[in-house]
Amino acid sequence: MSDAATGPVKEKKVRKGTLGRLMKYLLLQKGKLLISLVLLTIGTFTFLSINLLLGDVINILVTTKDIRSLINIALIMGGLSVITLICLYIGFRFITDVTQNALFKLRQEIFEHMQTLSLRFFDKQPIGELMSRVTNDMDTINNLFQAPFGLTLQSAIMLVLTIMALFSLSPLLAGVAVVVIPILAVFVAVLAHVSSPSFTMLQIRLGDLNGVMEETLEGQRTVISNRHQRTSSEKEASISTEVSRAGERAHILALFITPLCLMASFISIAIVAVFGVKMLVAGTITIGALSSAISYCLLFVLPLFFIFFNYNFWLSAMVGAGRIFEILDSQPDVKDKPGAKELPPVTGHIVFKDVNFSYVPGRRVMKEANFEAKPGMRIGLCGPTGAGKSTIINILTRYYDIDSGEILVDGINIADILQDSLRKQIGVVLQEPILFTDTVMNNLKYAREGATNDECIAAAKAADCDEFVKRLPHGYDTVLIDGGANLSQGQRQLLTIARAMIAQPKMLILDEATSNVDTRTEKVIQGAIRKLQEGVTSFSIAHRLSTIKDSDKILVVDDGAIVEQGDHDHLMAMRGLYYNLYMSQYKGKIGEVLDDIIAINKESAGAV
């Protein structure tokens, strides 16, 4: 769980420039946006014109009572109503197209950008927090774009046109009516200042909550076996309570909007009524115009209500957008140099020269690493937990850049070549097999673009997984569910080996590839691995030394340094760390160990 889930989080305000940056995505369809604004303006104008005509109707009823004039006005009002309906419908439809396109572009951009980021970025970000950003934070923008954005635009247009209509009826009444606007705006600004930081806190806490829930559900078996259901529930309830409190503070603005707007409406109507009656008595305004003015007072408060009521959506969306832009502003740590070249097909000759590396500056985890792997060699990596075995793999594949030294592939420094061209020639089989929710065939083709069905089936046969694949309901067209949950652990691992074969690599990484399976399955997987290793320079990380005993060279890593290297017999004869590790693992298998020692002693005696 992230520290954020347990420690205090400082409230932050919305980042400057977030609104303008978000609006750029809407401007990707400038034409539609402009047309929608024009249509909303026309629709709102015709709607407000109906109210003006109502004043004329009142004047006619009070004075001439001319039926023909009333019928003509009624027909005009009907026509204006149809125009209003058509313009507003098409206008809002265009806005929906514009906003959905903006959301699509933003989703694509953040996902594609995250694919370019280095592993160091993901090391620093809990997966629950990242998922919250690409789901919850995107939802806040989606919630704004669904309706509040369009309503805010129309309300702004309506507010301007209403005030203009009021001034056309009576500048004096318009002047006294709009006095409430700055007063209302000040109240809303104060409330927004209070609630804005809470929206940031709300999104952060939602990320923490997602992280805890994901962690708990993924480890449900461990939770149940250790009887920690209540503890997990209490932890979730604690963070959920913080989410609830942050939500209460964040939405304080919405609680005041309705009473504030009602108060502003009543005050505006009362002021206009007082001045209007005086003007009516003085004969400077008609009863119809006064009636229209009072109606416009109600109408200009209505858009204010919508603008301020939707302000919460804007604040929440700005916080969410700011958090998303933080990801978009993140830059990969590992970058291709200007002028970096494609790595040509290699033989797999790998050399580490005085390599130093640190995940965190100042805390070196790889120290002066030197070794050579000739083409086709099988290299074993062993050592205590946390010694630095995986670090060698991480820097060979250039998931991280080294601090100093050189890593050469066929004499070419990997810092001078394109990352993709390097990784294209490296096959990887991980401890935990990763499969995707797709067909078996497409999972195999994942390793190499353009791989044919025949190539995939041939690789599956070589990896001893063709038979069980054919027994699946739809064979190679069977869809794997939830990372291959409908397969056994060993079957999933065999498929990843077949996938690595399809990649046709010249360098291969095996990271504890048999550690999670039983002995019988391990033998099957080892047989598939041996086929995969043919003609390939391979690196096998292992805790069970039996899996790397036959390696051409074994690198013994301890505290970030390669302390021993050589084949099994040489390392046993040295009686160093490898010897101690081997002896400790084979307690209870004395016969096998003695045979090894006798063979080593005979070789030593023969040499003498």
What's the CA gap between 281 and 278, in Å, rounded? 5
Contact 173, 59 (CB under 8 A): no
Burial class (CB in 10 A: 0-12, 13-18, 19+), 359: middle
Residue 552 shares a structural domain with residue 602: no
Query: N- to C-terminal Cα distance for the chain?
Result: 59
- Is the pLDDT reported for residue 213 higher than 90? no
Contact 211, 236 (CB under 8 A): no
What pLDDT is stored for residue 4 in this prediction?
38
What's the CA gap between 439 and 125, in Å, rounded? 31
Which range is most confident: 70-79, 86-95, 197-206, 232-241?
86-95
Of the residues 481, 504, 527, the one at which a domain ends: 504
What's the CA gap between 401 and 298, in Å, rounded? 65
Residue 401 shares a structural domain with residue 476: no
What pLDDT is stored for residue 9 in this prediction?
38
Residue 521 lies in a domain: no
Contact 271, 176 (CB under 8 A): yes
Tokens of 248: 């209460």
Residue 572 lies in a domain: yes
Percent of the chain residues topping a pLDDT of 70: 86
- Is the pLDDT reported for residue 1 higher than 60? no
Residue 479 shares a structural domain with residue 602: no
Count up the domains in the chain and report the number.
4
What's the CA gap between 173 and 290, in Å, rounded? 9
Residue 334 lies in a domain: no
More confident site: 598 or 418: 418
This model's pTM is above 0.75? no
What pLDDT is stored for residue 117 in this prediction?
87
Long-range contact set of residues 3-9: C-beta below 8 Å, sequence gap at least 24: 4/126, 4/129, 4/204, 4/207, 4/208, 5/208, 5/211, 5/212, 5/239, 9/201, 9/204, 9/205
Of the residues 329, 360, 383, the one at which a domain ends: 329
Contact 548, 518 (CB under 8 A): no
Residue 49 shares a structural domain with residue 190: yes
* Tens-place pLDDT, residues 421-468: 998 899 888 877 888 888 999 999 988 888 899 999 998 888 888 899
What's the CA gap between 205 and 10, in Å, rounded? 11
β-pair type (363-373, 350-360)? antiparallel
Burial track 86-109 (b if 16+ CB lie within 10 A, e otherwise): ebbebbbebbbebbeebbeebeee
The pLDDT of 170-186, averaged and rounded, is: 79
What pLDDT is stored for residue 11 in this prediction?
42
Domain CATH number, residue 218: 1.20.1560.10
Dihedral class, residue 464 (left if φ above 0, else alpha if ψ from -120 to 50, else beta) = left
Percent of the chain residues topping a pLDDT of 90: 30
What's the CA gap between 178 and 285, in Å, rounded? 19
Distances (CA, A) of 331 to 15, 119, 120, 132, 338: 18, 11, 11, 20, 16
Residue 247 shares a structural domain with residue 358: no
CB neighbours of 178 closer than 8 A, spacing ≥ 6?
A: 163, 166, 300
Residue 98 shares a structural domain with residue 174: yes
Residue 2 lies in a domain: no
Residue 160 shares a structural domain with residue 222: yes
Residue 531 lies in a domain: no
Residue 581 shares a structural domain with residue 550: no
Domain span at residue 589 reads 567-608
Residue 445 lies in a domain: yes
Q: Where are the extended beta strands (E) located within 173-330?
A: none
Residue 442 shares a structural domain with residue 410: no
What's the CA gap between 233 and 216, in Å, rounded? 9
Residue 204 shares a structural domain with residue 325: yes
* Tens-place pLDDT, residues 296-341: 887 777 887 788 778 778 888 888 898 899 889 988 888 998 989 9
* Tens-place pLDDT, residues 513-545: 666 666 677 778 788 888 888 889 999 888 788
Contact 557, 563 (CB under 8 A): yes
Residue 124 shares a structural domain with residue 239: yes
Q: How confident is the model at residue 599 (pLDDT cuts 50, 70, 90)?
A: low
More confident site: 139 or 225: 139
Taking all residues of the chain, what is their mean pLDDT, rounded to a whole number? 83
Of 133-147, 259-273, 353-367, where does mean pLDDT reach its minimum? 259-273
Residue 411 lies in a domain: yes
Residue 148 shares a structural domain with residue 271: yes
Domain CATH number, residue 542: 3.40.50.300
CB neighbours of 573 closer than 8 A, spacing ≥ 6?
A: 600, 603, 604
- Is the pLDDT reported for residue 104 higher than 60? yes
- Is the pLDDT reported for residue 15 higher than 60? no
- Is the pLDDT reported for residue 574 higher than 80? yes
Residue 408, phi then psi, degrees to nearest 5? -110, 135
Residue 530 lies in a domain: no
